[in-house]
Structure 1
């Protein structure tokens, strides 16, 4: 009996100490910095990594409207359909156990974050899964969205996982954009691509914003609420994010649910719109995933969902549920960086890098995209 009481006492004393190991910043507060006695690193090497990030700023125009039109000029009929915003300069944060190791640039400036939005959208599916609004990611989406979006011999086969892993090959038109007009292949003629044979869902990954927006539309109908409202009430308020972030859809992307007209958002800024957010709020989101879905002792996302989201898909080992994975077998492996790392990535060099094992989060913005692997390795080498 005494030994049992002793064990209970030890656990009682131990758990509070463990909780203190991680820091969760309050809303709008100055981020607490890590103390040298808690964590040692090579400050000179880290300074070189930050200098590298600043010296390798994304080469595209700071007028993101121009950068978008230039970046996707190969696409037929491409145009700006939603809001854009001129960007700031390089910025970023590095967190250890939630504490700020270092930062650079204006971390409170709100900028477009492009396809980093996809990882937020995936999380909206995760919240729906955790609440039982989606019973199983292998359920056919047409069971939930029966308005014709998933009709037909091919589209009727598509399940939630196919949309989340971007291997559905959904065929059709959404908000006036044909699926085949989004990122057509460089080889072959457009007509060959337009009339190609569709791939079996789950067999071939294709990065395609039209299909991502189909996921956003489908989740809007499942939640019966706009995605920004769902994100705010179910996540961002809980992690004490600022009030400055916004999530836009295309100007004409309206749907009616329960008699209420609501905007269907985009999963990126390919034609404008998407998530506009600060570096600090991106870091909060990364910190939630670094802590495996727990924020300051409260579970926000299930471990089951995070495991699903960060499991390699069959067609692409570097991709899960709209999170990129640093698997050595794939062609997006970052040499010298642990394989357990996963990250969100967006046009123009926006990244949220998460390492659950080392309790590390790296956010970097407007870094030349092909420099990200070297930058992250420099950060790891400094630690």
Structure 2
């Protein structure tokens, strides 16, 4: 390991999140929700230390912390839902992302003149303006939400009853709508999503560490006459994905390879290209990934980089042009760009 790379890792490890390691306060993001939804509905567990992995040109350059520990990854699970949508696309279960969701998933909350126009494309770009309650939580809880990587600022208070527009008219980072996407994918596959994810993504890329994707206490639903858990697309209210940094990096290598890893085409080139297309009204966002095409997200990252990001904070950084995959977990979110700058400096030495 070069001195510059060691210096970068030392710096990253000095940027530990203020979140406690044992789930005592502060822990999670549900606390800022309006009552009575400022609570956990699913399990959480204590976190590990600052951990991470760097692969460059398919070579493992560095690993630090506890890279094999299965840790909560919060909204990186959103990106995993996008990968599941890609599996459905490649299997022709979801042949047209611009088709209204209700066409294949009737009876789960897309009825009505406006909601029936919501497409998979809208849900994947977080522009659906879907209205309703999913897994016992109304989507109004996350209206006016503004996350740290999103340019601009909110024009109202989180949880207020913002008037809703046409599908596709507004980007809003809304975890209840993400859970509604997860419910729709469950009805599309008619199989528990964690099973599909393990079979279609984790096993083909060689993931070996413990993995779980847990739901809420009220997440059981009937699908094709069977009782199945509808898992959330994150850990906002608990549950969600627990996975190791090493396995996240393996998924990142597959994404860096345009859907291919170890000679296996896990996802199609076409789907990976669709994921990276910038949203018209939110050019920093694709299909449940963060884009850096104009440098607004992280000024010291290349414009070719894109990211899966979760609270806490957890970052999977993918850059196909640099042939780089970097996973950083439990870092202080405001210092993310500084950590990126250190990694970029180490690669240039």
Report the TM-score range of the alignment, normalised by the length of the smaller protein. Answer: over 0.9
Match of 1:340 in 2: 304
Match of 2:220 in 1: 254
Query: Does 1:379 find its partner at 2:343?
Result: yes
1:325 pairs with one of 288, 291, 296: 291
- 2:209–2:243 contact (8 Å) kept in structure 1: no
Match of 1:26 in 2: none
- Counting only pairs closer than 5 Å after superposition, residues 109-120 of structure 1 correspond to structure 2 as 109-120=69-80
- Counting only pairs closer than 5 Å after superposition, residues 233-312 of structure 1 correspond to structure 2 as 233-312=199-278
- 2:29–2:236 contact (8 Å) kept in structure 1: no
CA distance in 1, matches of 2:103, 2:24: 38
Query: Does 1:164 find its partner at 2:124?
Result: yes
- 1:117–1:267 contact (8 Å) kept in structure 2: yes
Match of 1:143 in 2: 103
> Which deviates further from its counterpart, 141-150 or 86-95?
141-150
Give the Å deviation of 1:341.
0.4
Task: Give the 3-state SS of the residue equivalent to 1:67 in structure 2.
Answer: coil
CA distance in 2, matches of 1:129, 1:190: 34
Query: Does 1:67 find its partner at 2:6?
Result: no
Change in 2 beyond 3 A, CA 1:359/1:87: same
Match of 1:221 in 2: 187
- 1:341–1:354 contact (8 Å) kept in structure 2: yes
Change in 2 beyond 3 A, CA 1:242/1:65: farther
CA distance in 1, matches of 2:60, 2:156: 49
CA distance in 2, matches of 1:161, 1:173: 20
- 1:172–1:178 contact (8 Å) kept in structure 2: yes
Give the Å deviation of 1:69.
5.5
Give the Å deviation of 1:48.
1.6
- 1:60–1:348 contact (8 Å) kept in structure 2: yes
Q: Deviations over 1:154-190 (max 9, x none)?
A: 2111000100010101000011101101254576567
Q: Deviations over 1:25-55 (max 9, x none)?
A: xxxxxxxxxxxxxxxxx82221221111111
- 1:91–1:279 contact (8 Å) kept in structure 2: yes
- 2:78–2:233 contact (8 Å) kept in structure 1: yes
Change in 2 beyond 3 A, CA 1:148/1:114: closer
Change in 2 beyond 3 A, CA 1:265/1:336: same
2:56 pairs with one of 73, 79, 96: 96
- 2:144–2:156 contact (8 Å) kept in structure 1: no
Task: Give the 3-state SS of the residue equivalent to 1:66 in structure 2.
Answer: coil
Task: Give the 3-state SS of the residue equivalent to 2:218 in structure 1.
Answer: coil
Give the Å deviation of 1:350.
0.3
Change in 2 beyond 3 A, CA 1:351/1:237: same
> Which deviates further from its counterpart, 257-266 or 345-354?
257-266
Runs of 4+ in structure 1 deviating by more than 6 angstroms, as ranges, are: none
Query: Does 1:127 find its partner at 2:127?
Result: no
- 1:69–1:79 contact (8 Å) kept in structure 2: no
CA distance in 2, matches of 1:310, 1:74: 31
**Which is greater in Rg?**
1
Task: Give the 3-state SS of the residue equivalent to 1:228 in structure 2.
Answer: helix
Task: Give the 3-state SS of the residue equivalent to 2:204 in structure 1.
Answer: coil
CA distance in 1, matches of 2:158, 2:269: 43
2:8 pairs with one of 49, 53, 61: 49
Query: Does 1:351 find its partner at 2:315?
Result: yes
Query: Does 1:173 find its partner at 2:133?
Result: yes
Q: What is the aligned residue count?
A: 338
CA distance in 2, matches of 1:234, 1:365: 24
Query: Does 1:368 find its partner at 2:327?
Result: no
Q: Deviations over 1:233-263 (max 9, x none)?
A: 1121111211511011112101112221110
- 2:72–2:241 contact (8 Å) kept in structure 1: yes
Change in 2 beyond 3 A, CA 1:159/1:280: same
Give the Å deviation of 1:371.
1.0
Task: Give the 3-state SS of the residue equivalent to 2:86 in structure 1.
Answer: helix
Q: Report the RMSD for the aligned CA atoms in angstroms.
A: 1.7
TM-score (norm 2): 0.92
